[in-house]
Amino acid sequence: MSRPFALTNASVVVGDREGSTLSETTVVVNGAGMIENIGPSSELDVPSGYRQIDLSGRFVLPGLINAHAHLFSNGKPLPPLLTSESAENLVAGFMRSFIGKRVVKKRARTNILTQLNSGVTTLRSLGDVGYEAVEVRNEIERGDYLGPRVFASGPLLAISGGHGAPQIALISDSPWEARRNVRINLRAGTTAIKISATGGVTDARAIGEAGRPQMTEEEMTAICEEAHNAGIVVAAHAQSPEGLKAALRAGVDTIEHGSSMDQEIIELFKHNPRSLHGSSALIPTLQACLPLVKLEQQVTGIDDIVRANAEMIYEEMLQGIQTARDNDITIGMGTDSALTYVTHYNTWREMDYVVRYGGLSTAAELHAATEANARILGIDQETGSVRIGKAADLLVVGSNPLTGFRALADPQLVIVRGEIIEQPKTEKYPELDEKLDSF
């Protein structure tokens, strides 16, 4: 039990699609970490014994939900040696060694806590070296230290030579092998499943490999059936219309990154009988490509192949976001953290990019990062909005986020399940942020 408290005289941004904001409002949080009451500060009586925190001139909003995170790196450009084809097996071998596992676990814990201190109160990891995110989640749930809600996928599921293999993937080349790998992950305690449906940008070895279909529809169907039997949401890395179509037909619940869409894809998003809840959602990740496109190669350190693939997939993602917006497809928010120039404290940048480049309104994007993501992950009855009966997963900032998401860059308070982080701090990389600010 935490000490009950009330946030008084605040402007409260609820988290709905309309961007509803309540002025001069008090939010009362009980000792169980739940929102007990919300009302005008002039009318609502705070119970005796509750700590009162005056937030005059400040804004309260739901804690952010990052539906697409990786935890194996900090977002600084990786040395070319670590991304080269010749070294991939050596790197994978080290990360799975006794010493490597300790390094990876420590890094995962640090990055998860960085996300929390930047305002992320729930995250879904989608491609881990092993089960380090499961271990960190278990420690948080056990009460060893304060942390966000964590949905941990463990290694993603890929084909031989596919995206993410071998560093962060279990490999299969048939439906039954794919089904077996789901069972291995679930047995290890995972609460998310990730598929590599197509090739990706960062490990592409040829121009055009990103978005090229890899896993078959039959393999993905087996994965979805097995995961859905356990009530687990399935995410698919998919960056081409062909990849999206096969993944959606197989029953995946979220498409990560996305691409242009035809009418069949639009209909499958909105009415997907094989998905867990009858429809599917799009999780765009502009941060995964935008810095690679906007910054010079001598800055990012990527080669010509990765640059060409990034440019192609960036345009595909933009088309996907705009089609989803125009056809009322559910859009969530994910950062693809750990990739080059995608740090764990810059969730606000992804939201800013989707508004500036993808064309969503600030209200729609904040909704994507809060209430919509909660619904996608199946926790909307528990968190994702500032409403009575929800968990007190909250963020306090000094200016209105609906007028610009840079307001989220330095939160004044982060509250997770009713526990207050009074002075949230993150290690930042000024030289990296300066380059990102340039565009």
| Mean pLDDT on 211-220 | 97
144 shares its domain with 191: yes
Average pLDDT score, the chain: 95
Residue 354's CATH number: 3.20.20.140
Q: Is residue 93's pLDDT more than 90?
A: no
Tens-place pLDDT, residues 303-341:
999 999 999 999 999 999 999 999 999 999 999 999 999
What's the pLDDT tens digit per position in 108-161? 999 999 999 999 999 999 999 999 999 999 999 999 999 999 999 999 999 999
User: At residue 80, does pLDDT exceed 80?
Assistant: no
Q: Are residues 399 and 274 in the same domain?
A: no
178 Cβ contact partners less than 8 Å away, ≥ 6 residues apart: 157, 172, 215, 219, 220, 222, 223
Regarding whether 399 and 259 lie in a shared domain, the answer is no
- Give the pLDDT of residue 83: 61
User: Do the Cβ atoms of 121 and 411 come closer than 8 Å?
Assistant: no
Residues 159 and 204 in one domain: yes
- 103 with 239, same domain: the answer is yes
Give a yes or no: residue 435 inside a domain: no
- DSSP for 365-398, please give it: HHHIIIIIHHHHHT-TTTSSS--TTSB--EEEES
* Residues 9 and 55 placed together within one structural domain of the fold: yes
Mean pLDDT of the 181-186 span: 98
Which residues form the domain of 354?
64-377
In a domain, 432, yes or no: no
Residue closest to 215 by CA, chosen among 207, 204, 223: 223
> What does the block give as tokens for 209?
């490999």
Mean pLDDT calculated for residue range 356-366: 98
Q: What is the pLDDT of residue 95?
A: 72
Is residue 269 pLDDT above 90, yes or no? yes
Higher pLDDT, 230 or 77: 230
Can you give the pLDDT at residue 78?
72
**Mean pLDDT along residues 230-240:** 98
Evaluate whether 60 touches 396 at the Cβ level (below 8 Å): yes
For position 2, what pLDDT does the model report? 81
- In-domain check, residue 438: no
Q: Which H or E run contains 134?
A: helix 132-142
pLDDT category at 84 given cuts 50, 70, 90 is low
Q: Which whole number is the average pLDDT over 281-302?
A: 95
Please indicate, yes or no, if residue 148 is contained in any of the structural domains: yes
Which ranges of 271-380 does DSSP label H, i.e. alpha helix?
Answer: 290-294, 297-300, 304-326, 347-356, 362-367, 373-377
**Could you tell me if 340 and 362 lie in one domain?**
yes
Residues 238 and 223 in one domain: yes
In the chain, how many domains are there? 2
405 in the same domain as 278: no
Single-letter amino acid, residue 187: R
For the stretch 12-39, pLDDT in tens is 999 999 999 999 999 999 999 999 999 9
Task: With respect to residue 430, please indicate whether it lies within any of the assigned structural domains.
Answer: no
Q: Give domain status of residue 248, yes or no.
A: yes
- Nearest alpha carbon to residue 202 among 285, 131, 259: 285
pLDDT tier, 82 (very low <50, low <70, confident <90, very high otherwise):
low
> Does the pLDDT value for residue 200 go beyond 60?
yes
Judgement on whether residues 281 and 334 belong to the same structural domain of the protein: yes
**pTM recorded for the entire structure:** 0.96
81: pLDDT strictly greater than 60:
no
Average the pLDDT over 250-276 and give the result. Answer: 98
Q: Are 412 and 397 in contact (CB under 8 A)?
A: yes
The pLDDT value recorded for residue 338 is: 95
Cα angle vertex 132, ends 128, 134, to 5°?
95
pLDDT in tens, 225-234: 999 999 999 9
The arithmetic mean of pLDDT across residues 40-50, rounded, is 96
Verify that 273 and 299 share a domain, yes or no. Answer: yes
Q: Which of 145-159, 292-306, 373-387 has the lowest mean pLDDT?
A: 292-306
Q: What pLDDT is attached to residue 86?
A: 60
